[in-house]
Amino acid sequence: MPADAVQPPQPLNSDEEALIRSLGQVMYALPRALDADMVREQRLPLSEYLTLMHLSEAPHRLMRMSELASACNLSLSGITRIVTRLEAQGLVERVRCDEDARGLNAVLTDAGLARLEQAWPTHLASVRRHVLDHLEGIDLAGLARAMGQVGAGD
């Protein structure tokens, strides 16, 4: 076989197969479970909570709409719909970008920060119940690094 020939992929062993199937289940079930808890207890969908969270962590609680969409793993139209709902509740405002008059920034209001702080304990309890309680004894730092590499496409 020539040196530059592509080797066929190796079949998964049983542990690898179990991991890949479990990851598929987690990617499907976890966001739904967290969302259900947030909606039931806070009447705040997970997508709106995450939008408020990312804005709260940004300098001056402000992000360009395209950057916010990326941070939330949403399309620009998807984040626009969420920001519109949050804006109607007084939790977020949209303002023109100073650097680019065509662009818009989303800004977390004081009411939005208060709403995030109110919802945070529910989100924390949900994350603990659905994720962290199942990972006792696992090297969380190593797992986080590995998942970060997977998420980055490495």
Does residue 3 form part of some domain? no
Quote the domain boundaries for residue 84: 29-132
- Our count of domains for the chain comes to 1
Does residue 61 form part of some domain? yes
Does residue 22 form part of some domain? no
Average pLDDT, 10 consecutive residues per value, the chain (154 residues): 78 96 96 98 98 98 97 97 98 91 92 98 98 96 95 80
Does residue 104 form part of some domain? yes
User: How far is CA 137 from each of CA 16, 21, 31, 141, 143, rounded to the nearest angstrom?
Assistant: 20, 21, 23, 12, 11
> Cβ of 54: how many Cβ atoms within 10 Å?
20
Does residue 87 form part of some domain? yes
Contact at 8 Å (CB) between 38 and 45?
yes
> Any idea what the CATH number is for the domain that residue 39 is in?
1.10.10.10
Half-sphere exposure of 52 toward its Cβ, with a 13 Å CA cutoff? 26
| pTM of model > 0.85 | yes
Does residue 123 form part of some domain? yes
Bridge partner list, 92: 108
Does residue 5 form part of some domain? no
